[in-house]
Amino acid sequence: MDSQKQTVNFGPGPAKLPRSVLLEIQKELVDYKGLGISVLEMSHRSSDFAKIINNAENLVRELLAVPDNYKVIFLQGGGCGQFSAVPFNLIGLKPGRCADYVVTGVWSAKAAEEAKKFGTVNMVLPKLGSYTRIPDPSTWNLNPEASYVYYCANETVHGVEFDFVPDVKGAVLVCDMSSNFLSRPVDVSKFGVIFAGAQKNVGPAGVTVVIVRDDLLGFALPECPSILEYKVQVASGSLYNTPPCFSIYVVGLVLEWIKNNGGAAAMKKLNTIKSQMIYEIIDNSQGFYVSVGGIRVSLYNAVTVEDVQKLAAFMRNFLEMHQL
Ligand SMILES: *Cc1c(COP(=O)(O)O)cnc(C)c1O
């Protein structure tokens, strides 16, 4: 009996990985493709690792149709590391050292707080009493002098997700896609920078995918640590120092899995089905289930429809037993 199959993981991140990927890792762990060593022990300067990181980059490019004038790099420090890297690299784009922050939840609030260390932060939205909606873009207070406009595509804690890319009138748009990266297609050409910690939708903890438009390289503040500087990392092919080799390897396997399962469009279709299954129960429960607070369920890419069916059955049962 395979005990793993009894457990369904709805964790918020690190989150479920596709089972076939775990089995592949297991198979290759001790002896990677006949080399006699593990990826865990392999030099990041070896030609074998070069294949691994190039494959991961190419798959990001393919799955998101990343235009040629964008660089893809794999960094450390997680999504939160980018809260510092973004202002370090971009707030100097214009002389006033000002940036626009669209705060719709805890992650964008944290990013805005961090950016205050580097310059002036313009809060695009009035302070929201609770993070449950996105105010109409026509009411946004954008500063034309800002070096960039920052937002978070999906705020995991309160569940506020953008279903559109904000029109910022040609300003440099920066987006934290940590929790919905590759859960749906996205038009990369609308962005200056996209970043995503891998551990929600595309891999294990330890690596952050950064997609940056090449004309934005070279404007980092002089005090920017080299390890956080996009230009330095691009020039070294993400190998300025020892990268998280194993995490990058697993990201490559997950991206292959996404590709083999129909890519970002197919992920979106499945994710819509999965979330509808749960929201239908919540919405039809006459107030028994409420959306924010209490139990959290994450339905990232690797969570299957069958997993969600199990949860839905449990929720229906629980409702029947306890609703007055
Ligand atoms: C999880 C998450 C983060 C934090 O990422 P770390 O890798 O833990 O730093 C940031 N932003 C969003 C939207 C997240 O979901």
The string of DSSP letters for 100-156 reads: EE---SHHHHHHHHHHTTTSEEEESSPPPSSSS----GGG----TT-S-EEEESEET
10 contacts: CB under 8 Å, gap ≥ 6: 16, 296, 297, 298, 299, 303, 307, 311
Mean pLDDT along residues 159-181 = 95
How far, in Å, from the CA of 35 to the mean position of ligand 1? 35
In the numeric block, which tokens belong to residue 192? 């200056």
Closest CA to 193 of 237, 243, 143, 151: 151
The pairing of strands 120-123 and 98-101 is parallel
Going across the sheet that includes 98-101, the strands are 70-75, 208-213, 193-197, 173-176, 149-152, 98-101, 120-123
Q: How confident is the model at residue 3, as a pLDDT?
A: 53
**Ligand 1 site-directed mutation target among 82, 179, 180, most atoms within 8 Å of CB:** 179
- What pTM value is reported for the model? 0.96
Provide the terminal-to-terminal Cα distance of the chain, rounded to the nearest Å. Answer: 39
Mean pLDDT is lowest, of 84-98, 151-165, 204-218, 262-276, for 151-165
Q: Percent of the chain having pLDDT more than 70?
A: 98
For residue 27, pLDDT over 80 is answered with yes
Q: For residue range 254-301, list pLDDT tens digits in order.
A: 999 999 999 999 999 999 999 999 999 999 999 999 887 778 899 999
Q: Which residue has the tokens 């961090």?
A: 114
For residue 234, pLDDT over 60 is answered with yes
How far, in Å, from the CA of 318 to the mean position of ligand 1? 31
Nearest atom within ligand 1 for CA of residue 155: 13
Alpha-carbon distance of 122 to 150, in angstroms, equals 10
Alpha-carbon distance of 274 to 132, in angstroms, equals 21
Q: How confident is the model at residue 269, as a pLDDT?
A: 97
Catalytic annotation present for 307: no
Kindly report the number of other CB atoms within 10 A of residue 32's CB atom. 19
Confidence bin at 1 (pLDDT 50/70/90): very low
Q: How confident is the model at residue 296, as a pLDDT?
A: 87
User: Average model confidence (pLDDT) for the chain?
Assistant: 95
